[in-house]
């Protein structure tokens, strides 16, 4: 796992609009995380969502 | 809403294409809006040239009706919406400028055309934290938040805003061979969801008439590093 610093991505973003957009997104995740309440998906929508390992098994299988 | 045709915009993307499948499985009629020939990302220009595959061909194979149209060309939307009772928008963009054009104006065009066509059900795939103060610098998020307000303020439309957490597919996008490149320290918790489960929720929103704004997240909280460890374990990497 490599974690290049955000400023390096921002620098690269000066030359590429998609990279600039990604840099903004990762800056948001870095500062705020991306946590949410899992209850609505299960209780309101009735979706039993996959966990990461289950999903990985499906996409690689 | 258990009957009537649903127009899916962004139908060739991850969430859109999965939603087409789930809506069909739920017994609803689906029309997929696609922009033209496959593979080049070029704008709508009528029927594909001879020999070129239509972008939506796999969707047609599933049982969806495929129509050419472009949310940036409002004149193409009225024919696409004819006979539709609802819309699912899973449009996406990758740059700040594109976000203003597609996420905001494109969706406003779509909503306007839907109202004119009498389609009164609109489900929108937005993003978690779209209205976070730091998200104002991110075009995709900022414009999604702007459109959310337009949609939820439309009194004559039964609206659903879905705010999915981090797509698990993001893990694959950041992989470069054996290494994952994740900018920033990323030590805060993240909730994960597969695009397929988000699409399943969109289909349920139509089936069960679920309205309002909802966060969508799967069962796990994991930082990026922890998520990659889980991915690696599932792939037999220990």
State both tokens at B183.
């900018």
* Whether B128 and A51 lie within 8 Å, measured CB to CB: no
**Domain membership flag for residue B184:** no
**Are residues B184 and A2, on separate chains, in Cβ contact within 8 Å?**
no
Q: Which of A32-36, B7-11, B34-38, B186-190 has the lowest mean pLDDT?
A: B34-38
CA–CA gap between residue B12 and residue B14 (Å, rounded): 7
pLDDT digits (tens, 9 = 90+) for B75-113: 999 999 999 999 999 998 877 778 888 999 999 999 999
**pLDDT at residue B52 in the model:** 57
The reply to whether B99 falls in a domain is: yes
pLDDT by residue (tens digit) across B23-71? 999 999 999 999 875 544 444 445 554 555 678 899 999 999 999 999 9
To the nearest whole Å, the CA of B48 is away from the closest chain A CA by 28
Partner B contacted by A61 (CB < 8 A)? no
Residue B25 lies in a domain: yes
| Confidence band, pLDDT 50/70/90 cuts, at residue B5 | very high
Number of domains in chain B: 1
In this prediction, residue B33 carries a pLDDT of 96
Return the number of other C-beta atoms located less than 10 Å from residue B118's C-beta. Answer: 11
Token couple for B117:
């066509």
Rounded-to-integer distance, Cα B2 and Cα B175, Å:
40
CB atoms within 10 A of CB A16: 13
- Range(s) of the domain holding residue B140: 5-165+194-217
CA distance A57 to B229: 14
Residue B84: CATH number of its domain: 3.40.50.720
Distance between CA atoms of residues B94 and B181, nearest Å? 18
Look up the pTM and report it.
Answer: 0.92
With the CA atoms of B205, B192, B22 and B34 taken in that order, what torsion angle do they form, in degrees rounded to the nearest 10?
100
- Which residue in B129, B166, B231 is closest to A56 by CB distance? B231
Which segment, A14-18, B1-5, B122-126, is predicted with the most confidence on average?
Answer: B122-126
Check residue B41 and give its pLDDT. 46
CA dist B57 → B36, B83, B226 (Å): 10, 21, 38
Domain membership of residue B50 (yes or no) is: yes
* pLDDT at site B54: 72
Q: What is the mean pLDDT of chain A?
A: 93
pLDDT tens, residue by residue, B150-165: 999 998 999 999 999 9
Pick from B18, B61, B16, B21: nearest CA to B35: B16
Res B98: pLDDT = 84
Query: Does a structural domain hold residue B45?
Result: yes
Whether residue B178 is contained in a domain is answered as: no
Assigned domain for B238 exists: no
Comparing C-alpha atoms, which of B91, B196, B214, B218 is closest to residue B160? B214
Q: With a CB-CB cutoff of 8 Å, which residues 197-216 of chain B face chain A?
A: 197, 200-201, 204-205, 208, 210, 214-216
pLDDT recorded at residue B40:
45
Question: In the prediction, which pLDDT does B1 show?
Answer: 67
pLDDT digits (tens, 9 = 90+) for B161-208: 999 999 999 999 887 677 888 999 999 999 999 999 999 999 999 999
B41-63: buried (b, 16+ CB within 10 Å) or exposed (e) per residue? Answer: eeeeeeebeeeeebbbebbeeee
B20 pLDDT above the threshold of 60: yes
Residue B97 is predicted with a pLDDT of 73
Q: How far apart are CA A32 and CA A26, in angstroms?
A: 10
Residues B224, A1: C-beta atoms closer than 8 Å = yes
Instruction: Return the ∠ at Cα B165 (arms to B77 and B202), rounded to 5°.
Output: 40
Q: In what order do the strands lie in the sheet with B158-164?
A: B65-68, B29-34, B5-9, B84-89, B121-125, B158-164, B212-216
Does B68 map to a domain? yes
């Amino acid at each position: 796992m490599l974690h290049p610093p955000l400023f390096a991505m921002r620098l690269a973003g000066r030359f590429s609009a998609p990279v600039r957009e990604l840099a903004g997104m990762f800056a948001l995740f870095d500062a705020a995380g991306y946590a949410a309440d899992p209850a609505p998906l299960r209780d309101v929508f009735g979706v039993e969502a996959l966990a990461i390992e289950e999903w990985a098994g499906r996409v690689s299988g | 809403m258990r009957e009537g045709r649903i127009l899916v915009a962004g139908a060739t993307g991850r969430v859109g294409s999965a939603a087409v499948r789930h809506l069909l499985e739920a017994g609803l009629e689906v029309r997929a809006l696609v922009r033209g020939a496959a593979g080049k990302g070029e704008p709508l220009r009528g029927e594909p040239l001879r020999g070129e595959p239509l972008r939506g061909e796999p969707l047609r194979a599933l049982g969806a009706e495929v129509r050419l149209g472009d949310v940036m060309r409002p004149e193409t939307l009225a024919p696409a919406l004819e006979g539709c009772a609802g819309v699912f928008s899973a449009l996406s963009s990758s740059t700040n400028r594109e976000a203003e054009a597609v996420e905001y104006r494109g969706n406003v065009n779509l909503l306007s055309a839907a109202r004119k066509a009498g389609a009164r059900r609109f489900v929108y795939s937005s993003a978690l934290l779209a209205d976070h103060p730091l998200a104002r610098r991110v075009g995709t998020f900022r414009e999604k938040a702007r459109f959310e307000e337009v949609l939820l303020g439309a009194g004559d439309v039964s609206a659903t805003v879905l705010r999915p957490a981090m797509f698990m597919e993001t893990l694959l996008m950041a992989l470069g061979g054996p290494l994952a490149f994740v900018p920033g320290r990323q030590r805060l918790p993240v909730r994960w969801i597969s695009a397929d489960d988000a699409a399943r929720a969109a289909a349920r929103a139509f089936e069960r008439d679920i309205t309002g704004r909802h966060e969508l997240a799967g069962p796990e909280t994991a930082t990026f590093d922890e998520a990659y460890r889980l991915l690696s374990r599932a792939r037999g990497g220990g």
